[in-house]
Structure formats: C-alpha cells, structure tokens
Amino acid sequence: MDPTPIPTSDTPRKATTIKDVARRARCSIASVSRVVNDSGPVSGALRLRIAAAVAELEFRPSEVGRSLVLKRSRTIGVLVPSVTNPVFADCLAGLQETARRGGHAVLIAQSNYEAGREVEAIEPLIAERPAGLVLTVCDPASSEARARAAAAGIPTVLLFNEASDPGVALVTVDNRGAGRDLAAALIGRGHRRIAFVAGRFAASDRARARYEGVRDALVAAGLPVEPPVEADFIDGPDRIDLADILDRLRPTAIVASNDLLAIGVVAALRRHGLAVPDDVSVAGFDGIAIGGLIAPSLATIAWPARAMGTTAAAMLLDLVAGRGREPGRTLTLPHLFRPGGTLADAPNTSR
C-alpha cells in the first residue's frame, strides 16, 4: 500500500472566507466587510486587527462582490421565511411603501424556514446588485446567506431575528420577554400545566427565544417545565400531532410559537374532542388579523409588524445614504398581550 501522501506547497487548500477572517480578528463579519470594502467606520485598533488577519490568512475578496459595492442598483432585496405568513406580509407592506418613497424598488424572496434555501434565495438577490438587503434568517449566528451578503459588501438590516452580532443593524422585538409575559398571563389565570408547541428551533431563533421566555416564567413560578413539541407545520399546520403531550402532560394551556401554529393547535385539540378554551386554553405570538376573526378569537402577543417593516426600510436607506447611523444599531419595538376567547381560567377538575 502506498504511504499517505505528504502535503506540499502544491496541495490545494480550502479558500479562506470572510468568516475565517472574522474569527481570527475576533470581530463581526460586518466589520471585516467594512474594512475590506472601505464601506463604513471601524475603530483604528479593530481595523489593524482585521488587516493583520487578512494578511495572515491570505484572504482575497471576491472581485464580483467588490464590484457590487461600486455598481448598486436602486433596489432593496428582502428575504423572509414565508410570504404567506401574515406577519411577514404586513412587514413587507410597510417596507415596500417606505422603499418606494425613497425611490427604491423591492425584490422579495422566501426561504420556507430552511437554511439551505436561504443561500439559494440570496444569490439571485445579490446578483441584482441591490442597494441593500433586509433579511429574516433561521439563525443569524450561523447564516451562510448573511455571510455572503457581508462578503459582497452590501448594507444589511436583520428583521425579527435575535441579536447575535453587535456589528449588524437589527429591527426586532423582545421575543424572550414576550414569552415571559404570555406565560405570566396564563399562570395568572391558574394554569399550572403549560405546553409549548413550535416549528423546528433550527428554523427560527424567534421560536427558541419565545420558548426560553415561557420557561423563565415557569421556573420563576416553581412550575414544571416540559420540553417543547417541535412540529413540521409549514406544509400542514392542520396536521399537528398532539397525542403524546396530551396523554403525558394533560396540559390546561398550550402556547404556540406563532399565531398560525396556534390556529393549527386549536384544530388539533378539536380532533381530540377537546374544547377551547373550556378544556385547554391556547395562545400564540404575532397578533395577525385573522386571529381576531376566528371563533373563539385568538389570545396572542401582538407586535407592530407593519411598523417593523417601515423601520427596517428606513434604517437601511440611512445606511445606504451614509447618514451617520451606526451599522450595528438595534431597534426593539414594543409588544402587547392581547386577550382572546381561546384563553380562560384553568379548569377546576382534571380530565
């Protein structure tokens, strides 16, 4: 058997990425992009650290990406998980109107809550040479789509995501605080067995943060904490399986990670012969309009989705125009608990 080949200087190696430089320089991808593309302010010490990392790793920025910095169009690219989820539809309405007033068209793509499809969706947006991007990704800390936008030197604002990087502009809500507030409302109505149903946490850092908030409230009240029920609800929210949690926990209340999922939970409970809210209370997040039209109306944590889209577009246009706002600025908009007919006092008797 031939011995294992010894690597030589001719052995091809994996190309250095902007993520590698950020890791070596102990900074954000956005900071590296600003130095490489000379597209924004960076402190002197950090600039030197990034320059050293670029030299040590022999990083060569993509010429395609660098050309985008110089030839941007008057368009804004937007990537959201779903255009059919009303909360994102409302965001898009506000975003598009603000962009229009600023003289920009909007290009929209969706990822269907899949990290792999985020990458597929971001490439055509980048190819259009947008002035900037607004992204809602599965997890900004590991998002390849976000990394590619940064490598191309495109100003970017994250929307709805959890803060993971001080160098990135963000318009969001306090997802964890909202989870605490909703759980506190349920506990205040006498509920002690509370379940949490979500889509896959890998698909939504928002869902994970909301669960963590619910868990915080349960722990503070000295109540048991159940692991979340993660469901593939994108293609079939009407087929959510609650059999295990109903048999094991017999919850008096179920919190869903968003309103569409909460509506699916109501339907699933009815298939099990349970009445909402007499047997089980249900609550969600987002405050979508349809939640107020169903019977009984949906209890929810509401946030100003349209205003979030408006704010994200305004923040991005400021970044594009270089109007002096810090690239890493975070704006957290308020949330509000909205009682509904799906929430009642905990039943006095066990099922």
Query: How confident is the model over 319-328, as pLDDT tens digits?
Result: 988 865 566 7
Query: So what's the pLDDT on residue 321?
Result: 85
Sign of CA dihedral 290, 291, 293, 296: positive
Distance between CA atoms of 232 and 245, rounded to whole angstroms?
A: 16
Query: So what's the pLDDT on residue 327?
Result: 61
Least Cα distance to 150 among 239, 30, 56, 257 occurs for: 30
Query: So what's the pLDDT on residue 97?
Result: 97
Q: What residue type is 22 in one-letter code?
A: A
First-residue to last-residue Cα distance in the chain: 70
Query: So what's the pLDDT on residue 50?
Result: 87
Distance between CA atoms of 200 and 306, rounded to whole angstroms?
A: 25
Distance between CA atoms of 250 and 252, rounded to whole angstroms?
A: 7
- Spell out, as residue ranges, where the chain has pLDDT lower than 70: 1-14, 38-40, 61-71, 233-238, 323-327, 349-351
Query: So what's the pLDDT on residue 102?
Result: 93
Task: Give, as one character, the DSSP assignment of residue 74.
Answer: S
Query: So what's the pLDDT on residue 38?
Result: 63
Distance between CA atoms of 282 and 196, rounded to whole angstroms?
A: 10
Angle between helix axes 144-151 and 115-127 (nearest 10 degrees) is 20
Least Cα distance to 217 among 161, 301, 286, 278 occurs for: 301
Cis peptide bond N-terminal to 237, omega within 30: no
Tell me the residue length of the chain.
Answer: 351
pTM: 0.79
Cis peptide bond N-terminal to 296, omega within 30: yes
Query: So what's the pLDDT on residue 47?
Result: 80
Query: So what's the pLDDT on residue 310?
Result: 97
Least Cα distance to 194 among 206, 210, 205, 173 occurs for: 210
What 3-state class would DSSP assign to 330? Answer: strand
Residue 208: CB atoms within 10 A of its CB come to 22
| Cβ 172 vs Cβ 332: under 8 Å | yes
Q: What residue type is 96 in one-letter code?
A: Q
